[in-house]
Amino acid sequence: MTVNAITVDLEDWYHVCGDGAQADPAGWDAYESRVTASTGRILDILDKAGAKATFFVLGYIADRNPRLIERIHREGHELAVHGYYHRRVFEMTPAEFEADLERSIRAVESVTGEPVLGFRAPEWSVTSGTYWAFEIMAAAGLSYDSSTVPLTRMGERGLPHLPHRVRTPSGEIIEFPLTTMKCFWERLPFTGGLPMRLFPYWLIAEALRSTNAAGQPGLVYIHPWEFDREQPRIELPLTRRFMHYFNTASTRPKLEGLLRHFRFAPIREVLGL
């Protein structure tokens, strides 16, 4: 049976890209942190299923919640990085990205004592216009990335939709893009975020089975705030509010169903690293 990757973007309820006052890290220390409790729910679900995941950790959270990072590490999950301040790659210069990436790696490695192998950009923000990021990742000692998606709006249509190698002057990076399914002339995501909350479980499971039947692993992703029904609500534009909050109560039962019906492992194991 094909082994799929299960991943968690470890961010708190107020880590929303580019919208509202919450986007400014200068104010973050004033907000209630809810990430420990919501991540604990995810860890309990994974433990019950006997599954291990990759946690893409914000460096900001690693510095302020080292005990949470210690628990994730102690329970046998992989720790990778999600940047330090949850900034999209295209919002930064190469120098800014390098500094942000290296700071996030130091924050995680200082807790675990083990090298970080992977990175995921907030909002899948590595596109052909930010491919310079791959060389910076390789120079920082990373082995893989999971930051691209072959979509017209979020990401870039035409990007590879299967895991592949990206060669740079500083070394090679394995890219594991978001899993998508073919729908007419477009590809659609279905394994995390709004798409997983939007689609019925039977369609998600059938699409993942089809992916596996073709010999390819799928990539599932979730967020701790999707497991927190009491989280404060952020004032967002209508479309962003729908994307962020719609049907979050369905995430847990869909995740539990996937864990029952499919095999999962951290990305490093799926890629054989």
Question: pLDDT, tens digit, for every residue of 3-29?
Answer: 999 999 999 987 876 655 566 787 788
Query: Any alpha helices (H) in the chain, and if so which ranges?
Result: 35-49, 59-64, 66-74, 94-112, 132-139, 193-198, 201-213, 238-245, 251-261, 267-270
Q: Which residues contact 160 (CB under 8 A, 6 or more apart)?
A: 148, 150, 175, 177
pLDDT at 31: 85
pLDDT at 18: 64
Q: Which residues contact 177 (CB under 8 A, 6 or more apart)?
A: 146, 148, 149, 150, 159, 160, 161, 162, 163, 219
- CA 75-68-194 angle, to 5 degrees, is 90
Rounded Cα distance, 7 and 124, in Å = 14
CB neighbourhood size of 185 (10 A): 7
- If you search the block for the tokens 């390098």, which residue do you land on? 98
Counting beta carbons within 10 angstroms of the beta carbon of residue 197, is it exposed (0 to 12), middle (13 to 18) or buried (19 or more)? middle
pLDDT digits (tens, 9 = 90+) for 41-95: 999 999 999 999 999 999 999 999 999 999 999 999 999 999 999 999 999 999 9
Rounded Cα distance, 7 and 165, in Å = 20
Longest dimension (CA), the chain: 48
pLDDT at 21: 59
Q: DSSP strand E in 108-179: where?
A: 118-119, 144-145, 164-168, 171-175
pLDDT at 22: 65
- Residue (of 159, 173, 98, 165) closest to 124 by Cα position: 159
Counting beta carbons within 10 angstroms of the beta carbon of residue 31, is it exposed (0 to 12), middle (13 to 18) or buried (19 or more)? middle
pLDDT digits (tens, 9 = 90+) for 126-178: 998 999 999 999 999 999 999 999 887 776 777 889 999 999 999 999 999 99
Which pLDDT band, with edges at 50, 70 and 90, does 218 fall under?
very high
What is the sign, positive or negative, of the torsion defined by CA atoms of 16, 19, 25, 26?
Answer: negative
